[in-house]
Structures are given as C-alpha cells and as structure tokens.
A and B are shown apart, each in its own frame.
Chain A
Amino acid sequence: MIKILSRRGFLAQLLALCAWPFAAARGADADSVEVMVFRVTGGATVQPGRVKLDLPVLADNGNSVSLKVSVDSPMSAASYVKSIHIYAARNPRPNVANFYLGPRAGRAQVSTRVRLGGSQRVLAVAALSDGSFWSATADVVVTLSACYDAT
C-alpha cells in the first residue's frame, strides 16, 4: 500500500533532511551524522521544532563557543525530555555531547561550551518520553586567529 504523504508532511520531512549538513570528510569518526542520529531514533522521524539551539552567529574562536539548548516540554512525570544529542558535522568527532535528563530536571535546558572545527551548522536532537524526536539547528561562522601562536 502506498502511503501518501500530505504536502505538509512531505515538506516537513524534506526540511528535516535539509537540516542535516553534509558529512565532511574526516578520518577520526567514520559514522556520518545521519547514522549517529539513526542509532538514537531507530529510524523514527525527527521533526524540526520544540528545540531551541542558541549559538553565536560569529564565534571569536572555535576553541570555545557558548551553546545553550532547550526543549519546550512540561518536564512532568507524564511528559519529559529523555535526552538531547548535539552534532557538529564538520568536527572530526561530530557527536559533541549527549545530555540525559528526566522528569526531575524541571527544565529541559543545558548550557556548555563547545569546540567547532570551522564554520558549520550545529544540530540538536531531543528524544521525548512519548517516543517522539525533535530537532533544531544553528549556523555558526567560526573565524581563525590572525596570528600564528607557537607558545
């Protein structure tokens, strides 16, 4: 039986696919972001939305870039965020971090500082207690230091 996607559904799927950056060539981690996300979702649809990913538009230095990720969720025993996964496809190891929350978190929000190996689109995927997956992306331009530092 052919499942006919509504135009809205199709566009959502297309947007979800477009949200994932091309996997950069790198030796350190052979798996692509798509494969990594698949292992989290088991192939379930990842919908853009409910997740907010805050990164500066322009990073002073790729060594330390502030990142804040939050998910719109009541964080109650009935409905909460199980985990949030951060990916930077241009990094040699794209899976930057995984955060595991739960109903006791109160608020689905985590802040940290990440390393970005170049200008890229960062992806956050959230797994909710109802089995759904949501995502957000943020584009960051990373500039390199002007002067060589051999100290």
Chain B
Amino acid sequence: MTAGLLRHGALALLFALTGASHAQRAAVQPQPLKSGLEFTGAEVRELQHDDFANPGMLWAARGETLWQEAAGREAKSCASCHGDAKTSMQGVATRYPRIDAGSARLINLEGRIRQCRELRQQAELFKYESAELLGLTAYVAQQSRGMPMKTVIDWQNRHNFEAGRAMYYRRMGQMNLSCAQCHQENWGKKLGPETISQGHSVAYPIYRLEWQAMGSLHRRFRSCQSGVRAELLPQGSPEFLDLELYLAWRAGNLPIETPGVRR
C-alpha cells in the first residue's frame, strides 16, 4: 500500500513538474478565442457575410478563372492535376503553413502556389501581392471556409514554431512594441478609435478597407511593422513564415473565413 502511495506520489510529483515546465514552455492562446469580426463594426461584418458584396470575392473569382487556365510549357492548369478545387482543396488551408517535403522548409499557401507554378506548371512565377497570387490563394483557402484550423506542431516544425513565438513576443521598432502587447495582452481595448483584435490569421487573404484592395497576411504583418516604425520584412521571408505558423497554432480551432473583410 505504501509502495503504491509512494509511486502514486512520485508520479503525481513528476506530472506536476513536467506540467509546470510545460506551462512555461507552452505558448498561450487568447481566451476565449475570437475572430477579428467581433472587433469590427457591423458594416464590415455585413460585407464579409454578403458573398456578393464582399469585394474579396472579385479576387476569388479571378482565382477560380486562373484555376482553369492552362499555363506553362506543358499547358497545364491547376485543374489538370487537382481537378475540381471544391473537392480537392477542401481542408487544405487548415493545414498550412506546413513543412514542404522536398525542401524540408516551412511553406505557406502562397509559397505552395508559386512552387507549383514554377516547378510543375513551369510557368511564370506569380509575384507576391499580385492579383493572380492573391486570387488563387483566396480561391484555394475559400474551399476550406468554415472549417476549423488544424495546425499540428511536431518535431518537424517545432523550431519554426518557437522562432515564430519568439518573434511574437519580441519588441520591435521605434515604438518598441511586440505583437503580444497589443494582440495578446490588450485585445478588446481601444487604440485610438479602433478596438484591438486578437490578431488571428484565419480570414486571410483579406479585403482591407484601409488598402481598398485584397492583401496577404504578410502584407498585414508589414502594416503592423510600419505602425510601430520597425523595418518591414518582405513577403515570403522566413521570419514571416515562422510567425504565420505561430499564428496558425494560436488561432486554435477558429474556422477559416477567407475571403475576409477587415477595416
């Protein structure tokens, strides 16, 4: 009996210890998880929910057209390999960014589309923030609309995750502010006339009223960097990819909203 109790106690102590260190290592998700829509005005919410009025749909419509368009040396379209996007792309966006098997590096949806374009279609690369890349990314992600994010952190992407989390908590720029200070510690509070959101990535690419155009998550990162007067990193940079992975995890099981509308 004593041996059993001792073993039980030892196990309990071990569990508590690992639990404690796990809590120290574990990154924190905001509680409760809230979509950015909950921090915008009614107008933005209405725009996003109206599939016709949502300006992002203009880009997604372009993406749908591009999906069928033959390109490159082999005159192949996305559809040539992937068939109907409505079935083949369902759930795909919930698993990005992910480790690319070939390069063992983190890749996001934009990167994957560019990679397919270059290596498999052998066609001209789409530039970041181009109407084509935004359109295709929005169209692909839209096929997962309503599905919860399914980010898995494992041995393959753990170092990317840690780097992303470190960046999230690192102060930057003239204003010396970190992402966490606004979006983790002060979400729900006012910054000027705006209510700070939790800063999730599930609606991207988004139509941002401020840009009066569709834009990528990395462009939004750059906006934040600009806001705190930090140096802007380019779209597709490894730092942004790591941060994107952290954000994907941080969104928990929030559903994909692409194409989103934000102010």
Say yes or no: B263 contacts A149, CB within 8 Å: no
- A144-B192, A145-B194, A147-B191 known; A64+B224 contact, CB < 8 A: no
On chain B, the residues within 8 Å of A63 by CB distance are 209-210, 212
On chain B, the residues within 8 Å of A151 by CB distance are 211, 215, 219, 222-223, 226, 232
Say yes or no: B263 contacts A60, CB within 8 Å: yes
Say yes or no: A145 contacts B43, CB within 8 Å: no
On chain B, the residues within 8 Å of A150 by CB distance are 223, 226, 232
Interface size on B, residues (CB 8 A): 27
On chain A, the residues within 8 Å of B223 by CB distance are 147, 149-151
Say yes or no: B193 contacts A146, CB within 8 Å: yes
Asked if A45 lies at the interface with its beta carbon under 8 angstroms from chain B, I say: no
Asked if B227 lies at the interface with its beta carbon under 8 angstroms from chain A, I say: yes
Say yes or no: B210 contacts A145, CB within 8 Å: yes
What is the 8 Å Cβ interface bit string for chain A, positions 55-79, against chain B (1 contact, 0 not)? 0101111011110000000000000
Say yes or no: A66 contacts B43, CB within 8 Å: yes
On chain B, the residues within 8 Å of A56 by CB distance are 41-43
Say yes or no: A58 contacts B41, CB within 8 Å: yes
Query: What is the bound-complex CA distance between A64 and B263, given in angstroms?
Result: 9
Asked if B152 lies at the interface with its beta carbon under 8 angstroms from chain A, I say: no
Say yes or no: B191 contacts A146, CB within 8 Å: yes
Residues of chain B in range 163-203 having any CB-CB distance to chain A below 8 Å? 191-194
Interface of A is mostly: loop
Say yes or no: A60 contacts B40, CB within 8 Å: yes
Q: Which residue of A lies closest to B216 (CB)?
A: A151
Say yes or no: A148 contacts B227, CB within 8 Å: yes
Select A149's contact among B42, B43, B47, B226, beta carbons within 8 Å. Answer: B226
Asked if A143 lies at the interface with its beta carbon under 8 angstroms from chain B, I say: yes
Asked if B125 lies at the interface with its beta carbon under 8 angstroms from chain A, I say: no
Please classify how large the interface on chain A is, using the bins under 10, 10 to 19, 20 to 34, 35 or more: 10 to 19
- A60-B41, A60-B263 known; A143+B226 contact, CB < 8 A: no
Query: What is the bound-complex CA distance between A66 and B222, given in angstroms?
Result: 28
On chain A, the residues within 8 Å of B209 by CB distance are 60-61, 63-64
Separation in Å of the A53 CB from the closest CB of chain B? Answer: 16
Query: What is the bound-complex CA distance between A63 and B209, given in angstroms?
Result: 6
On chain B, the residues within 8 Å of A65 by CB distance are 43
Select B226's contact among A60, A144, A147, beta carbons within 8 Å. Answer: A147
Separation in Å of the B219 CB from the closest CB of chain A? Answer: 5
Query: What is the bound-complex CA distance between A147 and B238, given in angstroms?
Result: 25
- A61-B210, A64-B212, A151-B222 known; A145+B263 contact, CB < 8 A: yes
Q: Which residue of A lies closest to B218 (CB)?
A: A151
Q: Which residue of A lies closest to B44 (CB)?
A: A60
On chain A, the residues within 8 Å of B224 by CB distance are 147
Residues of chain A in range 38-94 having any CB-CB distance to chain B below 8 Å? 56, 58-61, 63-66
On chain B, the residues within 8 Å of A66 by CB distance are 43, 46-47
Separation in Å of the A69 CB from the closest CB of chain B? Answer: 16
Separation in Å of the A114 CB from the closest CB of chain B? Answer: 12
Separation in Å of the A77 CB from the closest CB of chain B? Answer: 31
Say yes or no: A60 contacts B232, CB within 8 Å: no
On chain A, the residues within 8 Å of B212 by CB distance are 63-64
List 3 A-B pairs, minimum CB-CB distance, nearest first: A147-B227, A146-B192, A143-B193
B residues neighboring A (CB under 8 Å): 40-44, 46-47, 55, 191-194, 209-212, 215, 219, 222-224, 226-229, 232, 263
A60-B263, A61-B209, A151-B223 given; name 8 further pairs at CB < 8 Å.
Answer: A56-B42, A60-B43, A143-B194, A147-B223, A147-B227, A149-B211, A149-B226, A151-B232
Q: List 5 A-B contacts (CB under 8 A).
A: A61-B263, A63-B209, A145-B210, A148-B226, A149-B223
